[in-house]
Amino acid sequence: MLSKRDLLQASIAGLAATGLPIVNAEERGQDRAAAQGMSNVPPDWYGKEQMAFLIYPEFTALDMVGAYQMLTGLMGSTAHLIAKTKDPIVSDNGLTFVPSKTFDDCPKDLDILCVPGGASGTLAVMQDDSTLRFLKDRGSRARFVTSVCTGSLVLGAAGLLTGYKATSHWATVPLLPLFGANATKGRVVRDRNRVTAGGVTAGIDFGLSLVGQLRDRQYAECLQLMVEYAPEPPFDARNAGQGPTRSHKNDE
């Protein structure tokens, strides 16, 4: 186990020498460590994951960005922001993103396929044939099929959660059985290669936990330090859908 000071130094070295994000630029890759003389970085900290994040009109920006920020911390990985066309996509709070790839030119074999949620936009995309076809295809081969928030309903609509335990935004967990999924409460729910996260901010916990799985605990803790993930929620509404204080515990 690295000491906290080692983690700190590794993090500073990472920030100063590479910047985790820079490593993800498509034109750069696994030999970045060598190029930058980071000879003391364990070689197995560099991967080559291909990751695709679906976006669509009125998706919830933080669902995607929280997971994206953590998963692009995987040194050597390549992240793609996928939409039906390359036209800018407006999220449900007005943030406008430019996709990097379309359904057609998205890599065929993905390590991580991730679908963020939303509200009315998500309902629409759950009924969009070309989106569902894309998800069915990539999801059939992806190493990890994942979602944040109501993104799990989109995976469900694409038939990708049948027979799997899965979660969603707490308000929509009860809908999961409509898609053959085993509705499960939890911040991050794993069943074989399906990893579904709870609402919005749960994408951060999901992303960081998958980084830990794909690298190791020390690596994930370096990333955690870099993004200063030591949350201090200023209020205490708690998650209504889980935990010992949940309001509908007796309704189950």
* Closest approach of its own copies to the CB of residue 23, in Å: 9
Of the two residues 96 and 127, which places its CB atom closer to its own copies in the complex? 96
Which of 106, 114, 149, 222 is catalytic? The answer is 149
Of the two residues 163 and 216, which places its CB atom closer to its own copies in the complex? 216
Of the two residues 161 and 222, which places its CB atom closer to its own copies in the complex? 222
* Closest approach of its own copies to the CB of residue 159, in Å: 25
Of the two residues 158 and 226, which places its CB atom closer to its own copies in the complex? 226
Three-state SS across the chain?
Answer: CCCHHHHHHHHHHHHHHHCCHHHHCCCCCCCHHHHCCCCCCCHHHCCCCEEEEECCCCECHHHHHHHHHHHCCCCCCEEEEEECCCCCEECCCCCEECCCEECCCCCCCCCEEEECCECHHHHHHCCCHHHHHHHHHHHHHCCEEEEECCHHHHHHHCCCCCCCEECCCHHHHHHHHHHCCEECCCCEEEECCEEEECCCCHHHHHHHHHHHHHCCHHHHHHHHHHCCCCCCCCCCCCCCCCCCCCCCHHHC
149 has catalytic annotation: yes
* Closest approach of its own copies to the CB of residue 3, in Å: 8
* Closest approach of its own copies to the CB of residue 140, in Å: 26
Q: Give me the active site residues, please.
A: 149
